[in-house]
Structures are given as structure tokens and as C-alpha cells.
Amino acid sequence: MRAPFSRSRLGFTLIELLVVIAIIAILIGLLLPAVQKVREAAARMKCSNNFKQFGLAMHNYQDTNGRLPVGWVTRQGGPAPSPGWSWSTLILPFVEQDNQLKALNPDLVTPGGAPSTPSGALLTVISIYQCPSDGSQQFNPNFNGYPRINYVANRFVLGPDSGNNPTALSVQTIADGSSNTILLGERDMVVNVAGSMYVRHNNTSASFEGRMGRAINPQPPAGSVYNTGSEQRLAYNSKHTGGCNFLLGDGHVVFISNSLDCDANEAWTNFPHATGYTFPNTAQRLEHPSDGLPVGNF
């Protein structure tokens, strides 16, 4: 007798296909967080490298000029133009951007002001001034469309002082030690106002400076963001998970956790500290160059 005819299967059944799709979906779900984590680690490292270049630039600026760059270019007892040129303009030749400084042609002696709304060379975006984790637009609407900068100065060190007179600190004259004092920190433009490249903008001094205040990385209520009228506009913020990068006076870069010990009563808008302030917390000791107190672990 002839054996019965057997037809071989040429494909998957519907159930098998659904199982395969489900397995692929699970694998993709497991893979995406890992990819995002690697991407953020690379962005954080790039941001840290930006800070390292700023550290070298500031030390080289000091070697040339005898002092650290000022946060905002003013003159003793004289004009304090706002908008005025900031530290990010002063260090341009030391981050391989000498041609950009020539294109800007800023008056750093009188000093002369900058326009409130940028045009021409002022619209040039320099990548080193922008953190890759801040995935927002390159130009900052908080400062009339100036290029966004994610790095802001510690005014307690770089100045100017409360009378808008320039400071003249060098690395060697930071009384508390350069390794215990911050020069620069981060601010994002997703929940905060970031800053304005090249200038101290007239909208707010947050355009060039940051302050420790009650916390780093304060978060606004869900669905809202800080603006140039918020006290938190001067805070240090970043899109890195868990903290912010900072540049210390000796040139090394540290990642400081959101859990940093901050003075819960210190407003971000306080400058300088009130007479008799005792610097009870690590954050405020880190930003002040001559409180004479140890900072401890951070």
C-alpha cells in the first residue's frame, strides 16, 4: 500500500508568530534602557571634558593676565554695562577660538556693552559651551536668542562684587585652597534658564553666574519650568542623572550629587552672604573662597 501523502509546513502559525513578536518586544524593552544609559554616560563624559578644557583655559588666562578671568567685565568705580561681556568671551583664545574673539571685537577695556539682541558673530554657537545632555535648542529664548551656554561662573570667586567692581583673585590667592573652591558649574535649559553665551545679559545675572542656595538641581512643580523671574534661576541644574559637574579652582572636575549638604534657609538670590553668616553647610563653603572652614566630603 502507498504511504499517505504528507504536506510539510512552509511557515509559522499565528500563535508562533505572536510569541516571536512578544519575545522581540521584550528584548527591545530590555535593550533601550541600556542604550540610554550608555548614551548618557557618554554625554556626561563629554560635559566633564568641556570643564577640563575650561580649567586649562582659565589657568592659561591667569598665566597671561596675572589673575583669573572675571565673571562679568566691569570697571572699578566705573561702568558696569549690562549686557556686558562675560568670562566665556574672555577665555575664547584659550579654547582655540581666537578668530571668534576677533570677530566679536569686544571692548574689554572701557568696558563697552554688548547688544541686548544678538546678530552676526554673536550668533555663532561654540559646542564646548553646551552640555550634550541638555537636548534643547541651541539658542536661548530667555536671553533674546543668544546662543545657549550650560556653564555658569561662581561669582563669589570670579566676581564682580556686590558693587559690580571686578575681583582680582588668582588660583594662588584663593584663601580656602583652590581644590576646595568651585569656579564653574552647570545649568540646563529644560527645567531652568541656562545662560547666554558671550555676555552677562540684562534680563538677569543668571545669564553668567550660578549659586548654591538651598539645593542643586531643584525641580519645579510637575508640568512647569523655572523662568528669569524665578528665584531658582540662579541654581545649578543639569540633565545628568543624580547631580551636576563642577570645575574646581585647581582645574579638576567633580560630579557632585543632588544630596549635597546645602543651607536650607539660603536663598539663591542672596549675594553676598549676610554679615555674620557662619557657612554651616558644605555647598556654601565650596562656593566661598575665604570662609576658612573645611568642606569635608562631597
pLDDT tens for the chain, residues 1 to 298: 555 555 555 666 877 777 778 788 787 776 666 555 556 778 889 999 999 999 999 999 999 999 999 999 999 988 899 999 999 999 999 999 999 999 999 999 999 999 999 999 999 999 999 999 998 799 999 999 999 999 999 999 999 999 999 998 999 999 999 999 999 999 999 999 999 999 999 999 999 999 999 999 999 999 999 999 999 999 999 999 999 999 999 999 999 999 999 999 999 999 999 899 999 999 999 999 999 999 988 8
The number of helices, as runs of H, and strands, as runs of E, in the chain is: 5, 10
Report how far residue 186's alpha carbon sits from residue 198's, in angstroms, rounded to the nearest whole number: 16
Phi, psi of 196 (to 5 degrees): -115, 125
- The DSSP code for 277 is -
Report how far residue 83's alpha carbon sits from residue 202's, in angstroms, rounded to the nearest whole number: 5
Report how far residue 275's alpha carbon sits from residue 247's, in angstroms, rounded to the nearest whole number: 27
Alpha carbon distances (Å) from 188 to 200, 206, 217 = 17, 12, 9
What's the angle, vertex CA 220, arms to CA 158 and CA 215, rounded to 5?
Answer: 45
